[in-house]
């Protein structure tokens, strides 16, 4: 029997500080991928492999819409590293130095700096227990969990644990258990942060639906916000992740800026299973 390829899709594989993405473009035609197909493409052994699969869609009042899918096929609300990667694509296509990208968590303004790094305005953190959300009224600066993390939403829920020695922390063991703790009705991204000094934080993040990644942009934003709320850092700091370094600033107007590099690993075509 002759095998017929039904749908050939071009893709771009990109990463921000090692946080890697398969990026598909739906602006010309809808692809209609199922949750199972998304999970198959994200599989590192049988698919292309990525931390998240990103779909670019057409928009009327902004430059593009970005949809974010975890390796299990579930949809995420925000991803700062992916936003920078999509911004790089749009900027190179249009020749513009700034673009606005719509996500389900809001519109994100991006700018390419003279040094080539891309900056994203991630908006204001949400700090009330109902906005994160948590399952019950709770002081978001000190959750009633072992280690007493601080919680914040950057378009998706984050809990930041401040630890003395990040290398000694069993992130891969604690992360999945904490992700599914009942206090997080929508699950949560679990960050483990070691404050080196008021301008430097080391961070590892267990991402909901993705696991341990080399970098998490929204997690870096949440870590800086929570660290400053605790009085541990200034409003601006370098966040050192396993895959690279991000500059995070929580401005006086409440907005969080994230700046970092992007890179294209390769391009290709795929026939979704």
Residues 6+ apart with CB under 8 A from 153: 125, 126, 127, 131, 132, 133, 222
> Using an 8 Å Cβ cutoff, are 38 and 272 in contact?
no
Q: Total structural domains in the chain?
A: 2
Q: Does 195 share its domain with 92?
A: no
Whether 32 is in a domain gets the answer: yes
Q: Does 246 share its domain with 183?
A: yes
Across 2-6, 85-89, 100-104, 115-119, least confident range: 2-6
Tokens standing for 181?
Answer: 């703790």
Quick: pLDDT tens for 128-176. 999 999 999 999 999 999 999 999 999 999 999 999 999 999 999 999 9
Q: Does 108 share its domain with 163?
A: no
> Using an 8 Å Cβ cutoff, are 13 and 267 in contact?
yes
Whether 191 is in a domain gets the answer: yes
Of 270, 273, 262, 266, nearest to 89 by C-alpha is 262
Whether 142 is in a domain gets the answer: no
Whether 37 is in a domain gets the answer: yes
Q: Which residues are catalytic?
A: 79, 216
Match 């984050």 to its residue by tokens.
158
Q: Does 118 share its domain with 177?
A: no
Whether 182 is in a domain gets the answer: yes
- Would you state the pLDDT for residue 273? 83
Assess whether pLDDT exceeds 70 at residue 248: yes
Whether 135 is in a domain gets the answer: no
CATH number at residue 179: 3.10.310.10
Q: Does 115 share its domain with 217?
A: no
Q: Does 96 share its domain with 155?
A: no
Of 246, 229, 253, nearest to 123 by C-alpha is 253
Q: Does 116 share its domain with 177?
A: no
Whether 93 is in a domain gets the answer: yes
Q: Does 175 share its domain with 105?
A: no
d(CA 148, CA 257): 26
Assess whether pLDDT exceeds 80 at residue 247: yes
Confidence of residue 3 (pLDDT cuts 50, 70, 90): very low
Q: Does 165 share its domain with 237?
A: yes
Tokens standing for 67?
Answer: 């949809």
Q: What percent of the chain has pLDDT over 70?
A: 98
Assess whether pLDDT exceeds 50 at residue 2: no
d(CA 145, CA 162): 13
Residue numbers of the domain that contains 71? 10-122+261-267
Q: Does 210 share its domain with 114?
A: no
Q: Does 87 share its domain with 36?
A: yes
φ, ψ at 111 (rounded to 5°): -145, 140
> Using an 8 Å Cβ cutoff, are 179 and 190 in contact?
yes
Whether 212 is in a domain gets the answer: yes
Residue 239, strand partner residues? 201, 246
């Amino acid at each position: 029997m002759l095998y017929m390829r039904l749908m050939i899709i071009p893709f771009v594989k990109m990463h921000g500080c090692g946080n890697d993405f398969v990026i598909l473009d739906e602006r010309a035609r809808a692809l209609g991928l199922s949750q199972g197909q998304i999970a198959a493409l994200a599989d590192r052994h049988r698919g292309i492999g990525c931390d998240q699969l990103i779909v670019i869609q057409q928009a009327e009042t902004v430059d593009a819409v970005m949809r974010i899918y975890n390796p299990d096929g579930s949809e995420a609300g925000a991803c700062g590293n992916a936003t920078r990667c999509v911004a790089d694509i749009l900027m190179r296509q249009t020749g513009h130095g700034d673009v606005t990208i719509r996500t389900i968590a809001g519109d994100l303004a991006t700018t390419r700096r003279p040094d080539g790094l891309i900056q994203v305005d991630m908006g204001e953190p949400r700090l009330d227990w109902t906005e994160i959300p948590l399952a019950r009224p709770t002081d978001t600066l000190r959750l009633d969990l072992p280690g007493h993390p601080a919680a914040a939403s950057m378009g998706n829920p984050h809990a930041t644990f401040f630890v003395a020695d990040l290398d000694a922390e069993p992130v891969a063991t604690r992360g999945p258990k904490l992700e599914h703790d009942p206090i997080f009705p929508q699950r949560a991204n679990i960050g483990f942060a070691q404050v080196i000094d008021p301008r430097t934080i080391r961070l590892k993040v267990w991402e909901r639906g993705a696991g341990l990644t080399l970098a998490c942009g929204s997690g870096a934003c949440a870590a800086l916000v929570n660290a400053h709320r605790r009085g541990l850092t200034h409003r601006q700091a370098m966040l050192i992740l396993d895959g690279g370094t991000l500059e995070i600033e929580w401005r006086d107007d409440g907005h969080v800026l994230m700046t970092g590099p992007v890179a294209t690993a390769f391009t290709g075509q795929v026939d979704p299973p």
